[in-house]
Amino acid sequence: MKDLVSIITPCYNSAEFIEETIHSVLNQTYENWEWLITDDLSKDNTVEIIRRYNDPRIKLHVLKQNGGAGNARNKSLERAQGRYIAFLDSDDYWYPEYLETMTAYMQEHHAELVYCNYSRCNEQLQPVLKDFLADKVVTFSNLLKTCRLAPVSTMYDTKRVGKFLFPVKSKREDHVMWLNLLKAIPEGMPINKTMAKYRMRENSVSRKKKNIIRDQYLVYKDFMGFSTLKSLYYTANWAMNGFLKYSKIFN
């Protein structure tokens, strides 16, 4: 039997998009998965929608107190039983071959972490920028300057690296978690194939720029333990690479 994949999903007020996400999972050609959805006390009918799908592989847990996306992901990770950990936010989308291709590559190449291309889309899942390309081997060193890993397009092997939780006190929890993981392994491998869609929502936390530079600085200063000067250096690199990544001038 194929190894179990644990899909980790936090959700909060996701009723508008969650059905598309659910269908993208149910349509996977790789069928040995468990989907651990942790609802962060949604105020809309997200939970009701999820409960309509009578599939024992979908395991919904509703929190009694709102604690943020990092905390919700951790609650799912704590219950995960699979060898492989995959992440899918409640408004994103996988192509049917995503799990099949990612797990096959990891097994064939003995990879500990892999990531693939993904489309950068508007709320209607129509591309608005060029696909983000998985075209480089990822290491701790180059991940400091730009975060090439996105939850929707990355998978890792717990049998080889264990589980990595998200810091609940950082607004850049994804980047901190990836950096901690890349401290423990030599590299993450790219699959240059588009197999996911990332929905760039105008009201999402990642799109709010007011405090994002400060939050990124704290990734290096507080969570990596770097000096002030070193933290400023990597924050500047991250900001420039982020501009190139998302500016339509370069896309």
Range 9-27 average pLDDT: 97
Domains in the chain (CATH in brackets) are 5-208 (3.90.550.10)
Give the C-alpha separation, 26 to 29, whole Å: 9
Residue 136: pLDDT above 50? yes
Q: Which residues contact 168 (CB under 8 A, 6 or more apart)?
A: 67, 68, 70, 71, 74
Q: Return the residue matching tokens 């190894």.
A: 3
For residue 3, what are its two tokens? 């190894």
For the segment 193-197, the average pLDDT, to the nearest whole number, is 98
Q: Please give the average per-residue pLDDT across 184-204, as a whole number.
A: 91
**pLDDT tens for residues 148-176?**
999 999 999 999 999 999 999 899 999 99
| pLDDT tier, 245 (very low <50, low <70, confident <90, very high otherwise) | confident
**In this model, does residue 249 exceed pLDDT 80?**
no
pTM of the model: 0.94
pLDDT at position 206, please?
46
